[in-house]
């Protein structure tokens, strides 16, 4: 009888200890989890392009959604969409500006800024001209790249 009573007592103590442990586990699980969600969802940039034929040259026009002028300009440099992008200014200037290059046949790069909504970049070569235009139209950017021979 004493053995049964001891076993029952140990069983009760064991289950009571087990129960208190699981209660503590449950309490810790019930604590509210605080997460810092500051990452802004960035929409994917989409580009719809078409080739344009011009007299004595070629061109390409693109409509880019989910971007701004600075990002579109940066992508032209990053993706080397025109030759000699290494001579481009690192950011769009705030006013009209001309950069003398005189390397690799590139004479100069002229930036024409129109009311913060349009940027015209003219690359003057010994054998022609390349024009890059970025224009903000509502929530999109129209990018035009034209290559003209002399």
What pLDDT does residue 140 have?
Answer: 94
pLDDT for the residue numbered 37: 38
C-alpha 51/C-alpha 49 separation (Å) is 7
- Provide the residue-wise pLDDT of the chain in tens; the chain has 150 residues: 556 665 665 565 556 554 555 555 555 554 444 444 333 435 677 889 999 888 888 999 999 998 999 999 999 999 999 999 999 999 999 999 999 999 999 999 999 999 879 999 999 999 999 999 999 998 899 999 999 987
Residues 6+ apart with CB under 8 A from 94: 113
Could you tell me the residue ranges of all domains in the chain? 1-34, 46-149
* pLDDT confidence of residue 150: 77
Element (H, E) at 76: helix 69-78
- What's 42's DSSP letter? P
pTM (two decimals): 0.69
What pLDDT is attached to residue 12?
A: 57
Q: Residue 7 burial by CB count (10 A; 0-12/13-18/19+): exposed, middle or buried?
A: exposed
């Amino acid at each position: 009888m004493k053995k049964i009573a001891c076993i029952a007592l140990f069983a009760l103590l064991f289950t009571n200890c087990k129960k208190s442990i699981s209660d503590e586990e449950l309490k810790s699980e019930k604590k509210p989890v605080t997460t810092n969600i500051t990452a802004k969802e960035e929409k994917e940039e989409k580009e719809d392009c078409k080739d344009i034929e011009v007299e004595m040259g070629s061109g390409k026009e693109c409509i880019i959604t989910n971007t701004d002028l600075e990002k579109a300009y940066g992508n032209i440099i990053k993706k080397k969409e025109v030759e000699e992008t290494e001579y481009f200014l690192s950011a769009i200037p705030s006013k009209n500006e001309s950069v003398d290059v005189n390397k690799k046949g590139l004479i100069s790069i002229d930036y024409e800024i129109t009311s913060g909504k349009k940027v015209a970049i003219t690359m003057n070569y010994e054998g022609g001209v390349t024009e890059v235009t970025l224009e903000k139209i509502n929530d999109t950017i129209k990018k035009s790249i034209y290559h003209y021979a002399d």
